[in-house]
Chains A and B, each alone.
Chain A
Amino acid sequence: MNNDFQNTQNDLELESMRQQMTTLKNKLNQQEIVNDHLMRHSMKKTVSDINRTYIWLIVIGLLMVPYGYWAFVKLTGFSMAFWIGTSILMLVCAGATYYNKTRVKDANLMTNNLVDVSRRMARAKKFDADWLFFGIPAIILWLGWFAYESYLIAGNIEQNWLMYGGIIGGIIGAICGFSIHFKTQRQYQDIIDQIEDLTAEN
Chain B
Amino acid sequence: MTNLERQFAQTVAEHKSTIYTVCYMFSQDADEVNDLFQEVLVNLWKGFENFEHRSDIKTWIYRVALNTCISIDRKKKRRSAETRLTMDINLFEDRDEDTKQVGMLHKRISKLQPFDRAIVLLWLENLSYEEIGQIVGITAKNVSVRLFRIREQLKQMSHD
Contacts and interface: CB of A to CB of B under 8 A. Distances in A.
Interface of A: 6, 9-10, 13-14, 17-21, 23-29, 31-36, 38-43, 45-47, 50, 107-117, 121, 187, 191, 194, 197-198, 201-202
Given A20-B102, A201-B145, A34 B63 contact: no
A25 B17 contact: yes
Contacts of B138: 115, 198, 202
Given A110-B68, A121-B71, 9 more contacts: A19-B101, A26-B98, A28-B87, A29-B17, A34-B88, A108-B50, A110-B46, A111-B51, A114-B63
A26 B17 CA distance: 9
A90 to B, nearest CB: 26
Contacts of B134: 113
B102 A27 contact: yes
Nearest to A14: B151
Interface string B66-92: 111011010000010011111111010
Contacts of A46: 38, 42, 79, 83
B137 A28 contact: no
By Cβ-Cβ distance, the 10 closest A-B pairs, closest first, are: A115-B137, A113-B137, A28-B17, A20-B105, A31-B87, A42-B83, A21-B124, A110-B43, A114-B136, A46-B42
Contact of B102 (A23, A114, A117): A23
A28 B89 contact: yes
Contact of A40 (B1, B82, B102): B1
B85 A20 contact: no
Given A17-B105, A21-B105, A34 B66 contact: no
Contacts of B118: 114
B42 A43 contact: yes
Nearest to A40: B5
Contacts of A18: 124
Nearest to B103: A20
Nearest to B135: A113
B124 A201 contact: no
Contact of A33 (B70, B85, B91, B99): B85
B140 interface: no
Contact of A24 (B66, B88, B102, B108): B102
Nearest to A21: B124
Contacts of B42: 43, 46-47, 50
Contacts of A191: 70-71
B115 A197 contact: yes
Contact of A34 (B8, B86, B124): B86
B86 A112 contact: no
Given A42-B83, A114-B66, A36 B9 contact: yes
A198 B115 contact: yes
Contacts of A194: 70, 113-115
A33 B83 contact: no
A107 B85 contact: no
B31 interface: no
Contacts of B137: 112-116
A28 B21 contact: yes
